[in-house]
Structure 1
Amino acid sequence: MKIRLRENGSLVLDLPEGTKLVLNGEERVLERAKLALCRCGHSENKPFCDGTHKKVGFEAAAGELEWFQG
């Protein structure tokens, strides 16, 4: 799995399509291979990014974390 921190933006998880996750007890299946999470704290759709970081002038460095199981 890879986590990308977009410069001045969201935290993006690169996961296989069809990945299952549980959010607040509700199981969901990812329709796309990317999941963008809020990093600025201002999204109206937390924990997901809704692009608000652009409006509020959020600034943060880019980065990347990748790990492998097994």
Structure 2
Amino acid sequence: MPRERGARSERAAPTECGAPDEHAVDRRRVTLTADGPALIEGPVELVTADGTTIRCDRFVVAVCTCRRSRSYPLCDTSHRRHRRAPRG
């Protein structure tokens, strides 16, 4: 029986981001911190803008979001020396 256009399969129902549930094992948790790095449950592979691949086997990888790190894209805690003034 042909499916209607745009119909979804009940077996692979989309999740919140539209990915099928069968790929749940491949997901990584990313925790965005208020004033620091993005924390990614590893192991991970990071691909930089110039195509360089960085493999990290740690159980949590801190990715720099302030771009001050000397080991960018990995965090070296440079954000701690340059705190932002509170908004107000």
| TM-score bracket for this pair, using the shorter chain length | 0.5 to 0.7
Quick one: higher RCO (CA 8 Å, sep 6+), 1 or 2? Answer: 1
Normalized per residue, the structure richer in strand is: 1
TM alignment of 1:41-60, pairs within 5 A: 41-58=67-84
CA-based RMSD: 2.2
Normalized per residue, the structure richer in helix is: 2
Which consecutive unaligned segments of at least 5 residues does structure 1 have? Answer: 60-70
Runs of 4+ that moved beyond 6 A:
none
Where 2:79 maps in the other structure, the secondary structure is helix
Where 2:58 maps in the other structure, the secondary structure is coil
Rg comparison, structure with higher value? 2
Which consecutive unaligned segments of at least 5 residues does structure 2 have? Answer: 1-27
Q: Normalising by structure 2, what TM-score? A: 0.50
Q: Normalising by structure 1, what TM-score? A: 0.61
Q: Between the two proteins, what is the percent identity of the paired residues?
A: 22
